[in-house]
Structure 1
Amino acid sequence: MDTTTVAIIILVISFIAMLVLRFPVALCLAGSTIFTLMYLNVPLEVIGQRMIQGVNSYALLTIPFFILAGQIMGEGGLALRLVNFALLIVGRIRGGLAMVNCVACLFFGNISGSAAADVSSIGSIMIPMMKKKGYSTEFSVGLTTSAAIQGVVVPPSHNLILYSLAAGGTSISALFLAGVVPGVILCIALMIASYFMAIRKGFTQKHVVAREDVSKVLKDGILAIMPAFIILGGIFSGWFTASESGAIACLYAFIVTFFVYREIPLSRMWTILKRTLRTVSMVLFLIAASNAFGWLLAYLKIPALVTDTLLQISHNPIIILLIINILLLILGSPMDMAPLILIMTPILLPVVTALGMDPVHFGIIMMLNLGIGLLTPPVGTVLFIGCAIGKVSIGQGARAMAPFALVLVAVLMLLTYIPQLSMWLPGLMNH
């Protein structure tokens, strides 16, 4: 075997071995890169240079801003206000509490940008509320975990920012705009599915907001979703960039949480900052390690090899995109979302661009694809959190989630083969 083939084998085997031994993914990326470079006799200074280059980006400012804004609003009673606001909109419908779950998850995803935060915050309110109103625990958990996946698609998804970096600087603003219509489609599809399933199972209770509470719920709801309008409105208008909108959203979240809602003391801000710093540190280390790993992939010409292999199977874009979707769904089961974005984007992006697909469109497909992976064991982070909140087994939660997962897959196919659904808004805004 030639040197390149042996190096690829070392890279793959060392990465998988460290993953099986339960090393953190960032260390798996860095370690396998070091082993391979040692075999190739490439100076190890390269990995340090590439890691530093990976985090030396102005666009990375977007991540801590949005994480901090989400942490502040999540800590300050945002989730309950969004649930009440959703009740005001669709609570009057038969089985409407299930639809409220979908709407509340969409709203919270517009603030947190994280599916895990979505299911933690909304799930802790909606699952007990649905159980109290006669919905089964399994149905409540299955719906909540599935609806939380909206958070990885709609802005300000942290994962869209990671994809932008991994894709070589694809516009974050364009990705945020591209996620709006798919997020609405996801919400509508889940609402329709949850409505018919709730009716079939006999969960027909209505939940009407008292007339005297309407004005307060409306005011609190508008204040709660305002960060989403700040982010999207600023990008739409061109008044500020994604990073600047994140900073403004942080300031807004701080004022509303501590001076309007006033449910937590100002001293809690120190805890929020520490939690944000811990999260950002992990994300930045992962980005740094993946940048070195991605450079090695390019050095070994692995993306070109994958492109040639897939194009040898078929030149039909429909077949190639189906294969890529299946591959990502399979990989999303044993691995977490963020490292997969950073690993697979440099490999698969050349394939889809060779087929004429826009990188922004592919970003939305990848987000939803890997988001579905958050629902599937053995990793299944979102599923595990939902089951823990609902106090059901992973098996029960997975069975209840399965029908909604099929809805997510159907929407994934729709977004894959109808690019206008993702590209219409960025095209309209000339991004």
Structure 2
Amino acid sequence: MSQGSSVVKGIQLSTSKNKRNPWNRFLKGLDRRLEEVLIVIGFLVFTILINLQVINRYLLPFIEIANITTWTEEVARYLFVFVSFIGASLSVKNRESIQVTIAVDKLSSGIQKSISTVTVIFMLYFSYILIHYGVDMILFQLETAQTTPALSIPMAIPYSAIPVGFLFISIRLLQNLWQDMKGMTVKEGWMTCLIAALFIIPSLFLTHSSIAILLFGYFLLFILIGMPIAFALGISTLATVLVTDAIPIDFFPQTAFTSIDNFPIMAVPFFIAAGVIMGSSSMIKKLLHLSDELLGFLPGGLALVAIVTSMFFSAISGSGPATVAAIGTLLIPAMIKQGYHPGFATAIVAAAGTIGVIIPPSNPLVIYGVVSQQSISQLFMAGILPGILSGVALMVVTYVIAKKKGWRGNQTSFQFKSVLRAAWDAKLALLVPIFILGGIYGGIMTPTEAAAVAVLYGLIIGMFVYKDLSMKAVYENVVKAGMTSSIIILLIVMASIFGKLITLERVAETVANFVLGISENQIIILLLLNILLLLVGLVIEALAAIVILTPILLPMAMEIGVHPIHFGLMMIFNLAIGFITPPVGVNLFVAASVAKLRIEEVIKGIGPLLVTLVVILLFITYIPAISMWLVDVLR
């Protein structure tokens, strides 16, 4: 008895010593927070640099701060590349990604574990390739003494983001692999080996196969086993290249860098950060109060408030799920309390969130603009009328349903003075879309600069005016924004690598010839494209679909006379409907999570709203002026 007791005391003593060991605490803290700290530092620095660039251009026209306009953009771009890959490491650590798990979820837990292990092993090998050839790329840069245009520092420094970033990713993948394998049984181990062999062995006999068949075959297989879509794109390309030698492997790290060393892409993390920061401050509550004063007296007042506030907040966040989370947290419980059916209350917030990717600024519009090489400013202009039309249509349908059900708002009448007071109270929030869109359309700022200014504005208002944004909240919001945007950026990186083989194989021309072989009638082809995109939206997240399908479908759309800007709005509206259609339906899941409802209950309430959005889609598709009128007027 005493011996056992002494052993226990010894263990406790040992544990206590470990807790007191500063080196152990440092290592644990480093493991837990390293990426977060690097993301926050990098994010805040390149936000400040872009804002300094804008300030120097307009507020200090006669004082050139250390020739700031020539180097701020370059430093910000390179920091952005580093932060993107560090953020990707954090998303790997937290196992957060864009993926399709429909098929895998139906398998037994043992098989799921084996498949997950195989996926991590493949991702590790891909990361090793990027590290190995990334180092070779750096050595080449040092040998040739190439320097950056503005700072004249060795190009090896910014290019080191690739091997360093994928080294971080590899470490996190190894940690995940260790966790997965710790409790693995012998049977699950053999199952893992068998699954890996089923993927590898066929490639040994397919050396003379079509590049396109290998590329899309492996991509679909990787998607089916639940591999993150970004890695599915990269690994399917690598597998195809290893089998066919279609392109040199050193193309991978080079493209990984050049594909995101791009100033317009930086708008994505800025808009995400602006939405997250402002959504966690009082701004969202003030917008809700204004909307309530405007519409709360009508039948379905709170539901109408949800739609209008979503339209306001969309002009800040550029993200559907962010809009749903921010609005839903406050309004879904309030609607249920007033007697709304819980499924409908949740569905209306999910449907209103689709406006977040149509009304500018919109992250999907930014991604489409980058991939298609179209003007992001023009895409933003094209999204205004479709976004407003969608909001108005949803409001009309909601009003009719609410009147029939007898759902009324808190207020009994419209009071103009109350509206004015609420508008004045919300003035700082209402200014955001004005200076973002006004700055872009007025030619004062680029979309990226406007987004960076929005981030700084949100921080200043939240921290020093409303004083409801603490340093801890800023840290958490920037980490969240950095990780979310890095998932998108990694997707763009892998899609650029994947797209090289698509171009090589002339896949876009093959698809165009096939569809045009069915019919050359523009109405029929646009209908077929809508059906295809709606089906894609059911199973693939919108941003992934944009980067994969735009290079394939856009040339065909242009061949039948569809303007690239019009096609972009049509594509994104289709995929936005995918936000509220299972099984992917990210808005549905976010709203259901906020309301703590089963997804089936939310789906029951979404029907009339879904039909409404499909009707608006047909209007946008066949009446180009809805998208193009403002673009043509302001061009």
TM-score class, shorter-chain normalisation, is: over 0.9
Secondary structure in 2 matching 1:332: helix
Give CA-to-partner distance per residue, 1:14-70, whole Å, 9 cap, x none.
Answer: 111111111111100001111111222132112222222211211112112212211
Tell me which residue corresponds to 2:244. Answer: 40
* Partner Cα separation in structure 2 for residue 21 and residue 289 of structure 1: 18
What is the SS of the residue equivalent to 1:323?
Answer: helix
What's the counterpart of residue 9 of structure 1?
Answer: 213
Which structure has the bigger radius of gyration? 2
Q: Deviation at 1:117?
A: 0.4
Deviation at 1:135, TM superposition (A): 0.9
Which amino acid in the other structure matches residue 393 of structure 2?
A: A
1:175 aligns with 2:379: yes
| CA shift digits 1:268-319 (9 cap, x unpaired) | 2222222222122222211110111111111111000001011111110100
Q: Which residue of 1 aligns with 2:490?
A: 285
Asked whether the equivalents of residues 270 and 448 of structure 2 are also in contact (C-alpha less than 8 Å), the reply is yes
Report Cα offsets for 1:333-384 as digits up to 9, x if no partner: 1111111000010010001000111111111111110011111111111101
- DSSP 3-state at the match of 1:94: coil
Aligned match of 2:548 in 328, 343, 351?
343
Q: Which residue of 312, 323, 346 corresponds with 2:528?
A: 323
The answer to whether residue 628 in structure 2 is matched with residue 404 in structure 1 is: no
Confirm or deny: 8 A CA contact 2:294 2:419 kept in the other structure. no
Contact 1:155-1:176 within 8 A present in 2 as well: yes
Q: Which piece of structure 1 moves more, 22-31 or 57-66? A: 57-66
Q: Which residue of 1 aligns with 2:281?
A: 76
Q: Output the CA distance in 2 between the equivalents of 1:207 and 1:318.
A: 47
Q: 1:4 to 1:304 in 2, by over 3 A?
A: farther
- Distance change >3 Å, CA 210–CA 419, structure 1 → 2: closer
**Structure 1 regions of 5+ residues with no counterpart?**
none
Does 2:624 match 1:419? yes
Indicate yes or no: 2:364 matched with 1:159.
yes
What is the aligned counterpart of 2:305 among 96, 100, 108? 100
Contact 1:114 1:157 in 2 (8 A): yes
Aligned residue identity for 1:157: S
Distance 1:4 1:370 in 2: 36
Question: What's the CA shift for 1:422?
Answer: 0.5
Inter-partner Cα distance in structure 2 for 1:100 and 1:267? 31
Give 2:62's aligned residue: none
1:410 and 1:45 map into 2 onto residues whose CA distance is: 47
Quick one: which amino acid aligns to residue 624 of structure 2? Answer: P
Superposition RMSD in Å: 1.8
Measured after TM superposition, the shift of residue 4 of structure 1 is 8.6
Q: Secondary structure at the match of 1:145?
A: helix
Q: Among 388, 397, 405, which residue is 1:184 paired with? A: 388
- Measured in 2, the distance between the counterparts of 1:4 and 1:91 equals 66
Match for 2:407 among 184, 203, 207?
Answer: 203
Q: Pick the aligned partner of 1:217 from 414, 417, 422.
A: 422
- Cα 1:228–1:406 change in 2 (3 A) is same
Decide whether the 8 Å contact of 1:82 with 1:107 is kept in 2.
yes
Distance 1:3 1:188 in 2: 55
Taking the TM superposition and a 5 Å limit, the aligned residue runs for 1:138-149 are 138-149=343-354
> What is the deviation of 1:77?
2.5
Distance between the aligned counterparts of 1:176 and 1:385, measured in 2? Answer: 25
Residue 580 of structure 2 aligns to a residue in which SS? Answer: coil
Deviates more, 1:308-317 or 1:208-217: 208-217
CA displacement at 1:213 relative to structure 2: 6.1
Asked if 2 retains the 8 angstrom alpha-carbon contact of 1:94 and 1:206, the reply is: no
SS class of match (1:44): coil
Q: For residues 225 and 25 of structure 1, what CA distance do their matches in structure 2 show?
A: 37
The amino acid that maps onto 1:264 is L
Helix, strand or coil for the counterpart of 1:179? helix
Query: 1-side partners of 2:554 and 2:333: how far apart?
Result: 42
Contact in 2 for aligned 1:50/1:295 (Cα 8 Å): no
Indicate whether 1:366 and 2:598 are aligned. no
The answer on whether the counterparts of 1:110 and 1:225 sit within 8 Å (CA) in structure 2 is no
**Native 8 Å contact 2:558 2:564 kept in 1:** yes
Match of 2:231 among 14, 27, 34: 27
Higher RCO (C-alpha under 8 Å, 6+ residues apart):
1
**Which segment drifts farther, 31-40 or 177-186?**
31-40
Q: Indicate if the aligned counterparts of 2:293 and 2:418 stay in contact, CA closer than 8 A.
A: no
The aligned runs of 1:199-278 (5 Å cut-off) are 199-207=403-411, 216-278=421-483
Shift of 1:221: 2.2
- Aligned counterparts of 1:360 and 1:131: Cα–Cα separation in 2: 40
* Matched residue, 2:557: 352
Cα distance in 2 for residues equivalent to 1:389 and 1:53:
39
Q: Secondary structure at the match of 2:582?
A: coil
SS at match of 1:33: helix
Distance 2:299 2:325 in 1: 26
Encode CA deviations 1:234-261: one digit per residue, 9 max, x unaligned: 1222122111211221222122111121
Task: Give, as a single letter, the amino acid of the residue that structure 2 aligns with 1:365.
Answer: M
> Distance in 2 between the 1:157 and 1:207 partners?
33
Change beyond 3 A, Cα 1:204–1:276: closer
Greater shift after overlay, 390-399 or 403-412? 390-399
Please name the residue that 1:307 is paired with: 512
Q: 1-side partners of 2:274 and 2:478: how far apart? A: 10
In 2, the alpha carbon distance for the partners of 1:210 and 1:267 equals: 39
Q: What's the CA shift for 1:134?
A: 1.4
Could you tell me which runs of 5 or more consecutive residues in structure 2 were left unpaired when the two chains were aligned: 1-205
Partner residue of 1:88 out of 293, 296, 320:
293
Query: Following the alignment from structure 2 to structure 1, what is the Cα–Cα distance between the partners of residues 270 and 416?
Result: 37
- Cα deviation for residue 210 of structure 1 reads 8.4
Are the counterparts in 2 of residues 97 and 207 from structure 1 also a CA contact under 8 Å? no
Identity of aligned residues (%): 36
Does residue 122 of structure 1 match 2:122? Answer: no
CA distance in structure 2 between the aligned counterparts of 1:297 and 1:233, rounded to whole angstroms? 38
4+ runs deviating over 4 angstroms:
2-5, 208-216
Deviation at 1:104, TM superposition (A): 0.9
- CA distance in 1 between counterparts of 2:496 and 2:208 reads 20
**1:137, distance to aligned residue in structure 2 (A):** 0.5
Query: Residues 313 and 323 of structure 2 are in contact (CA less than 8 Å); yes or no, is this contact kept in structure 1?
Result: yes
1:204-252 residue CA offsets vs partner (Å, 9 max, x unmatched): 3343688996555222322112211111111222122111211221222
Is the CA contact 1:4–1:300 (under 8 Å) kept in the aligned structure 2? Answer: no
